[in-house]
Amino acid sequence: GGGRNYIANDPSKIPQIFLRETRTVARLGIVPGKFFPQELSANPMVRDLRRVAPLYGYIATTPKPAAEIVLASTRLDPVLAAWQYGLGRSVAWTSDAAGLWTKDWLRVPNANRFWANLASWVLPAAGTNQLFISGSSSQGQGHISVTMPPSVGANPGVTAHILTPGLQTTTIQLEPSSPGQFGGSFQEGAQGAYFVTVEARGAGHAEAGQIGMDVPYSPEYRSTGLNLSFLRSLAAAGGGSIITHPQDAWKGNLQPVLAEYDVTLWLLLLAVLLLPVDVGVRRLVVSRRELAAILEALPFRRTAYSDREAINPVVGALRRRRSQRDSFAPEAIAEARAFAVPPRISPSNNRRMDGRISPSGSSTPSVRSSDVSAATVQGHENADEESVASKLLAAKRNKG
């Protein structure tokens, strides 16, 4: 990187190294010492110098990337540098002109011509035969326009050399646009300063000129101020309001907006999903009994009763009643015997009820208590069954 390095074998020398480096950096940039300047460019400013005299010091500077170094020191620091900016020129002379470092330089022959050439090169040249060059920039394109003097002659060849900010050169051929006018365009790669050199060669005569073009940032970044009257009219036309505080930008006070939405894709998807259902409804025939069986087979439809009780609840109720009567206690049977009425036997019926005739010879047969109780229970069961049957018959008739 062009820096300096120090050997520090002893740690105690580190403070001295830092002190020496601080003095080196803190100096004013004056480089004393006798040296002979080296000519690096054949510029008109040094064309009259017959002999280069020594100099005894200069101020260390750094040249710009597009600067022309005419004279340099033994360290290749610029002593005389030229700069072209737009239509103007500038010159940097890093030594003095009072004789402190240039005592031998002022004694050489034609030294006065050197200072005259330096001033003449900075000032614009006189005459009306030079090219008049103008440049402009718009929409990423650079445009060059050149006005030709009559001394160039008819149908000259005009060429423009463009030096970009990246120090790359582009050459374009300018075409005639009107009598005595030539123009052309080139692509602008980046923002910055562009240097354009135009050469016009006619019948035995040639002219040249230079200009500088500045390509600024995009116009959208240009600050033009705030036009409150236009903003108010724009807000009134759209039914809006002007935001004066940053938190007002998050208020949900916008009017609802209706817009069309294409639902074709969703309708097609619904049709595809309903197609199997449509085919099943039209092709499959399911009776009520099969539908009831399917519903009963579902897990959440099952009950604690058996299948037959779920299908016929009346039969299930009769079975529960019969199971309750079969579990009667002996006390209930005795009570039923007490309230049992013996059957009447007609006198003409002299058949033996149980194969025996009463001792009195009467025609009233003897009836056992077990038969009476059984008959009583059977009579209750028959009465219950007849009442249930009558209810079923009445319900069937009501439905009919």
* Percentage, residues of the chain above pLDDT 70: 74
Express each pLDDT in 290-340 by its tens digit: 888 888 888 765 554 444 444 456 666 777 777 666 554 455 555 545 544
H helices of the chain, in order, are 14-26, 111-122, 228-238, 264-283, 288-297, 307-311, 313-326, 330-338, 369-399
Number of Cβ within 10 Å of residue 164's Cβ equals 19
**Strand 68-72's sheet: what is its strand order?**
38-39, 68-72, 78-85, 88-93
Q: Assess whether pLDDT exceeds 90 at residue 49.
A: no
Please tell me the predicted confidence (pLDDT) of residue 385.
57
Structure tokens at 182: 């030539």
By CB neighbour count within 10 A (0-12 exposed, 13-18 middle, 19+ buried), where does 81 fall? buried
Q: Assess whether pLDDT exceeds 90 at residue 264.
A: yes
**Average pLDDT in the chain:** 76
Q: Assess whether pLDDT exceeds 90 at residue 354.
A: no
Helix/strand/coil for 155: coil
Rounded CA-CA distance 362/360 in Å is 5
Rounded CA-CA distance 238/257 in Å is 13
> What confidence category does residue 87 fall into, taking pLDDT thresholds of 50, 70 and 90?
low
Q: Assess whether pLDDT exceeds 70 at residue 227.
A: yes
Number of Cβ within 10 Å of residue 319's Cβ equals 12
Identify how many contiguous H helices and E strands the chain contains and give both numbers. Answer: 9, 14
* Cβ pair 132, 180 in contact under 8 A: no
* Cβ pair 91, 45 in contact under 8 A: yes
The model carries a pTM of 0.33
Q: How far is CA 398 from the centre of its chain?
A: 75
Rounded CA-CA distance 72/78 in Å is 5
* Cβ pair 339, 379 in contact under 8 A: no
Q: How far is CA 118 from the centre of its chain?
A: 59
| CA-closest candidate to residue 58, choices 47, 71, 48 | 71
> What confidence category does residue 79 fall into, taking pLDDT thresholds of 50, 70 and 90?
very high
Q: Of the ranges 98-107, 145-154, 295-304, which is most confident?
A: 98-107
> What confidence category does residue 56 fall into, taking pLDDT thresholds of 50, 70 and 90?
very high
| Range with lowest mean pLDDT among 101-105, 171-175, 192-196, 380-384 | 380-384
